[in-house]
Homo-oligomer: A and B are copies of this chain.
Amino acid sequence: MTRVSRFGEPAEDELPDDIRAIYEANLKKVGFVPNVFRAYARRPEHFRAFMAYHDVLMKGPSNLTRAEREAIVVAVSSENRCQYCMTAHGAALRILGKDPILAEQIANNWRTAELTPRLRAILTFASRVNEPGFAASDEEIAALHAQGFSDDDVWDIAAIAAFFGFSNRMAGLMDMRPNPEFYGMGR
């Protein structure tokens, strides 16, 4: 069996109760425990901080739909060539976006995907944030305002893009492997 992470995973009977509960909720909902949980469980304090921030960004209040947020994750993870995130969030985008062909186009190359103008603006800025040494100019923020995005929308796009740049690097550190179940989901 393929490894979960190069650093292994804790035995199930060593899991803290709150993490065990998350395992069980995943088993009930999707039938398996995504390897990101199993890999982070090695360090419970890191697990909790990562998942809390993830949930603020991906499930918290925002004008961005959940599919738009997943599209950001897939586009950035593709630019960063993150094997785990492209696979796991590719599945999420296929399901939440209800357009598996578009999801695959975004995974291949968001620039040549058949995007709405709104999603193109979102991914264009997400990709800017992903650049090394990113610092926004007043002009590019004004351009986003002119396209209808509020300050908080801009914040949300950037925070998701930048947080997954962090997450992509952690997956690259661990050689985190995608669960095989992800590949067929939402096709």
Give residues in A with beta carbon < 8 Å to B. 2, 6-7, 43, 45-46, 49-50, 52-53, 56, 60, 78-83, 86-87, 100-101, 104-105, 107-109, 111-114, 129-130, 132-136, 138, 141, 151-152, 154-155, 158-159, 161-163, 165-166, 168-170, 172-173, 175, 180, 183-184, 187
Given contacts A112-B175, A170-B158, is CB(A81)–CB(B135) below 8 Å? yes
| Chain B residues positioned under 8 Å from A165 (CB to CB) | 162, 165-166, 169
The answer to whether B166 touches A112, judged by C-beta atoms less than 8 angstroms apart, is no
12 A-B pairs with C-beta separation under 8 A: A50-B53, A52-B52, A83-B108, A83-B113, A83-B135, A101-B180, A112-B175, A136-B175, A158-B173, A162-B170, A162-B173, A165-B166
The answer to whether B136 touches A173, judged by C-beta atoms less than 8 angstroms apart, is yes
The answer to whether B162 touches A111, judged by C-beta atoms less than 8 angstroms apart, is no
Given contacts A162-B166, A166-B163, A169-B165, is CB(A108)–CB(B133) below 8 Å? no
The answer to whether A175 touches B50, judged by C-beta atoms less than 8 angstroms apart, is no
The answer to whether A169 touches B158, judged by C-beta atoms less than 8 angstroms apart, is yes
Given contacts A108-B87, A112-B81, A162-B170, is CB(A56)–CB(B49) below 8 Å? yes
Given contacts A50-B53, A52-B49, A169-B162, is CB(A101)–CB(B43) below 8 Å? no
The answer to whether A183 touches B83, judged by C-beta atoms less than 8 angstroms apart, is no
Q: Which of B7, B166, B169, B183 makes the CB contact (< 8 A) with A104?
A: B183
Given contacts A136-B172, A159-B46, A170-B162, is CB(A83)–CB(B100) below 8 Å? no
A107 to B6, CA, bound (A): 22
A115 to B81, CA, bound (A): 16
